[in-house]
Each structure stands twice: as structure tokens, then as C-alpha cells.
Amino acid sequence: MTGPQPQSAVLGAAIGSAPVSKRAILAASLGTALEWYDVFLYLSFSLTIAKLFFPTADPWVSLLATVGAFGVSYVMKPLGALVLSSYADRVSRKSALTITLSLMALGISMTAFVPTYASIGAPATVIMIGARFIQGFSSGGEYGASTAFLVERAPEAHRGFYASFNISALGFSSVMAGLAGMAVGGLLTPEQVAGWGWRLPFIFGLTIIPASLYIRWSIPELDRPAHPPSRAPLREAAAGHKKLLGLGMGAFALVSVANYCLAFYLPTYAVHDLGLPPVGAFAGTLLIGGVQTVLSPVFGALSDRRGRVPVMMVAAFGLAAATIPAFLLVVGHPTVVALLLSQLVLGILVTAYQAPMPAFLCDLLPPALRATGVAIVHDFTATLVGGFTPFAVTLAIGLTGSNLIPGIYVALAAALSFGCMVALRAIARVR
């Protein structure tokens, strides 16, 4: 696994692919961007949502309930992964992607227009939780299908580059959501934000969905599939590739933890625990999103030349060593400048690890099991680790009083993922 050719040979990358088009990249990436745009907005406005939909006498308990509802929604991700990604492997990548985007539209609509607890009482809380469940189910089928969709349309020697556009889309969603959050927080009063302003970014996301659905629907299927479809991709993946899937989940743990600690939960953490202004907190997420948007194709292309595993191992080691010192800087000097400096360094390392990940996961399993295998790794890890990260961090900070908790959490995840990457490299060498 030291370069693209041995890696593909050893871990079963797909044989010949059709040329990738800009429209295909857009079709695959738009859904990913909308998925994470919604995730970021929910967590960014979690303090407001806590007051409006999970009211209690203790603000900390309300916040726990809000991020807990977010975490519970991730219980649906494995179900979505099993149902929709299996459908993508058995029937059609394109059809699966159209279904996931339609479900996202429903979930975002429910979030944007649900009346508050003060208006209709407990049904408001139930509807908000229901919206999170729908989003969890739809996102469970998105990553595996979109990654397979991109990889199978990319030249074999450039799969890391093309698949990394899924990560660029994630970063771009952070940029867009960060700008929306800064605009809402900077232009509206707190009363206006709580009254109606928090809904505006969600409504903006809805305006993009019709065009996104058309683009996905209009992309033709591959003329000649590079592999015969599997009749039971879930059973085959679980029965024949348990070790690779387990190590893949361990390798993906860093992605889940880092995204939630360093990007999506950052505004809530910066405002609630560090006392920074909302605009400065959103600027931190805007910075890390910009780094992901611009540098993901760079690191994806580097993984095509140098191999996925070497690039990812260097980045994981760097995060294990640098995250706690970066948070020590921010906690010791809670200023926007310190926050931005730490986000810049950590954002580069996270992007270097994450950008090769989509192609790396596709290399793990045979083409007929690709969407299902990628979804199992991505969504089961997201459920077990990522979805409850905001809850775990909020609870740990409240119990210990230490604002270093997010840095410790990321550093531990980096050490775990580094160890799994070492094991995966050893398996590749033996084979």
C-alpha cells in the first residue's frame, strides 16, 4: 500500500472506469454538501434550538437534550446505510442518490418550518426529533453511493483526486453554513435570531435542492458496469470482510471525531465554553471549511502519487501530537486570533487525513460491494463515534470543568486511527 498501483491490486480497487465529468462531480458532491450543511446548521444553532424546542429550567440540560437528539438521529444512519447503499450496489447508484436527496429535502423542510414548543407544545419537540431521524436515514445512504458513483467514473490513476471532491463539498458546506451563521448573528438581534432568523439558513438550503435533484436525475448510468451486481451485498460484505471493515471503522473514527469537534460543534463550544462572540466562532468554522474546500483535491492527488496510507498516517500522527497543544493555546488565550490559528493548523492536518479517505475506503472491498462497504464503515462509525461526540464533549466539559476535552478527544481518536492504518498496511504487505 505504498503507492496507487499496489494498493489497488491488493485491496481490490475497481477495474476500468469511464471518464469522469464535471457534471458527475457536481451530482455526487451536491448531496454531500447539503447533508453536512444541515448538520452544521443544527449544531451551530443548538443553543437557540435548545431554548425553542427542548426548554428546561437548566440551560445546560436543554443543550444536552438538543445535542442528544442529534446523536439519537444517528441511530438511523446504519439503517439508511444498509437499505440505501445495498440498493445502490444491487440496482443503481444514481437512483439511490436521488432517493437520499429527496429525503434530505423532507428533513430540512421539517426543521425549517416546525412551530416552536411555545406554540404547539411537545409535538414541536417530536417533529424536530423526527426531522433528525429522517436526516440520519438519508445521510446513511449518501456517502457510500456518492463515493462509489465518483470513483467508478474516475480514471484509475486519479481516483484519490476525484473522490476527494466529496470532502471539498463537505468543506464548502461549512463555508456556506459559516457565512449564513455569521450573517444571521451579525445582522440580526438575539431576539430576531430566536424568533425567525435561525430558520433562514435552512430555508436557503431548500432552494438548492430542486436543481440538485435535476442534476442527479440527468446523469446517465454507466453504459457497461465494470462489475456484475451482487444479489446480497450486505451479507457478502459482513461475512467475507469483517476484519477490513473493522479496521476501516477504526481508521474512520478520526474523521468523525475531528469533524464534529473541530468544525460542526465549534461555534457552540466557542460561545458557550470559551465566551467568544458568535461571529468569531463562525469565522473559525469558516476557516477550516475553506481549508477543506481548497486543499482536499491537493491531498487527494498526493495520495494518487504517494499512496493513500502514507499520506494518512503522517496526518494522523500530526493530529495526535498537535491537537492538545492547539487547544491549550485557545483555552489559555481565548481570543478569536488564537482560535483561528489553531483551526488553520488542525484544519490542514484533518484535510490531509480525510481527503484520501473516500478512495481509500473504495480500495478496501471489491467493486460489487463498494457502496455497501463504504457505507458500513462511514455510517456505523458515525453512529458509534461521531453522532454522540457533541453530547459526550458537552457532558464531559460540564462534569470536569475542563475546556481541553475536545482536544483530548481528537488526540485519542487520532492515536486509534493511526494504529488501524498501521494494521491495514501490514495486511496489504502480507497479501
In the chain the domains, ranked by start, together with CATH numbers, are 4-223+232-430 (1.20.1250.20)
Count other C-beta atoms under 10 Å from residue 285's C-beta.
29
Question: Do 188 and 197 meet the contact criterion of CB atoms below 8 Å apart?
Answer: yes
For residue 164, give the 3-state DSSP assignment.
coil
Cβ neighbours for 323, distance < 8 A, ≥ 6 positions apart:
346, 407, 410, 411, 414
Whole-number Å distance between alpha carbons of 211 and 376: 29
How do the residues of the chain divide into helix, strand and coil, expressed in percent and rounded to 5?
A: 85, 0, 15
Per residue in 166-195, pLDDT tens? 889 888 887 887 788 778 877 888 888 888
Q: What pLDDT score does 7 carry?
A: 35
User: pLDDT tens, 95-130?
Assistant: 888 888 888 889 899 988 989 888 888 888 888 888
CA 417 to chain centre: 16
pLDDT at 229: 60
> Structure pTM?
0.78
**What's residue 5's pLDDT?**
36
Does pLDDT of 140 surpass 80?
Answer: no
Q: Taking Cα atoms as reference points, which of 287, 185, 254, 247 lies closest to residue 414? A: 254
Q: Residue 52 has what pLDDT?
A: 84
